[in-house]
Amino acid sequence: MTTDATPRETLAWLEASALKLPGIAHAFFTRRGGVSTGLYTGLNVGYGSADARDAVTENRRLAMRVLTDREASLVTVHQVHGTDVVPVETPWPRTENPKADGLVTDRPGIALGILTADCTPILLADPEAGVIGAAHSGWKGAVAGIGAATVAAMERLGARRARIRAAIGPTINQASYEVGPEFRDRFEADHPESLRFFREAPAVGKFLFDLPGFVRAHLEEQGLAVVDAERAEDTCPDPHRYFSYRRATKLGEPDYGRQLSAVMLRG
């Protein structure tokens, strides 16, 4: 499946000020555009969904055409809500995706991709060292330290944290993230300083959790040059713009798509 559509005319994406840098291409894609239909209408890039494989492949190709007009390889991982970070030297076949939640590289022409449908995508770059990173941060990964692990992996490739610029993309926001008391209790027991990221919900006994605020705070603790959250739009309330696991669950839908966040060193 291919399309003659011009991606820059049909797709919609966000860019963070912190990553608008010479030699760096990046995008936080929305679901708009693409060739998927039905539940996945738009730019679904998730092979983990039940969408047609050809449609997902074409959507990924269209996204890469936004990042560059040269040959580029999109590399993703099998995300598992952990802290493993994979250095990428050469692209691997999709069927051999390692289980990890972060990627780093110093090789031009390799786009590091993160798939989300409410979790927080993080894109990072040290333009002076020519090192980039990408991380998938749900609450479990954030608590475990996926942000710090990705920064450390970038340092092993020659980056310096005082130069690293990080940007957080579209993710479920506090107004949409209702949790029960048992969820908050986990934080109170292990991370009491993080209770500031909770507020009482309208429903009795429930709380609202600020996932992007929590992720941003942990990134700021790493001593980075910039942590940019201006593109952390709420994925849950807007079905025309974003896929959302939580929204799909509330509506009783059997499946959901994933949007792509990607960063690449230009060749």
Q: What is the pLDDT of residue 188?
A: 86
In percent, the amount of the chain with pLDDT more than 70 equals: 97
Q: How far apart are CA 251 and CA 21, in angstroms?
A: 40
> Where exactly are the structural domains of the chain?
7-173+210-265
Q: CA angle at residue 22 from 20 to 27, to 5 degrees?
A: 40
Supply the mean pLDDT for the chain.
95
Q: Give me the mean pLDDT over the 229-242 stretch.
A: 97
Mean pLDDT of 7-16: 89
**pLDDT tens across 207-226, in order?**
999 999 999 999 999 999 99
Residue 227 host element (H or E): strand 226-228
Q: What is the mean pLDDT of residues 162-183?
A: 98
Taking the C-alpha atoms of residue 188 and residue 202, their distance in angstroms, rounded to an integer, is: 21
Q: pLDDT for 107-156, tens place per residue?
A: 999 999 999 999 999 999 999 999 999 999 999 999 999 999 999 999 99
Question: Phi first, then psi: what are they for 222, rounded to 5°?
Answer: -85, -5
- At 3, the pLDDT band (50, 70, 90 cuts) reads low
- Geometric angle at alpha carbon 228, from 248 and 108, rounded to 5°: 90
Q: How confident is the model at residue 267 (pLDDT cuts 50, 70, 90)?
A: confident
State pLDDT tens for residues 178-195.
Answer: 999 999 998 888 888 999
The predicted pLDDT at position 5 comes to: 53
Structure confidence at residue 103 (pLDDT)? 98
Q: 């201006």: which residue's tokens?
A: 230
Could you give the CA distance from residue 123 to residue 132 in angstroms, rounded to a whole number?
A: 8
**CATH number for domain 7-173+210-265, candidates 3.20.20.80, 3.20.20.70, 3.60.140.10, 2.20.25.90:** 3.60.140.10
Question: What would the mean pLDDT of 79-90 be, rounded to a whole number?
Answer: 98
- Whole-model pTM: value is 0.96
The strand pairing partners of 220, in sequence order, are: none
> Given this model, what pLDDT does residue 4 score?
54
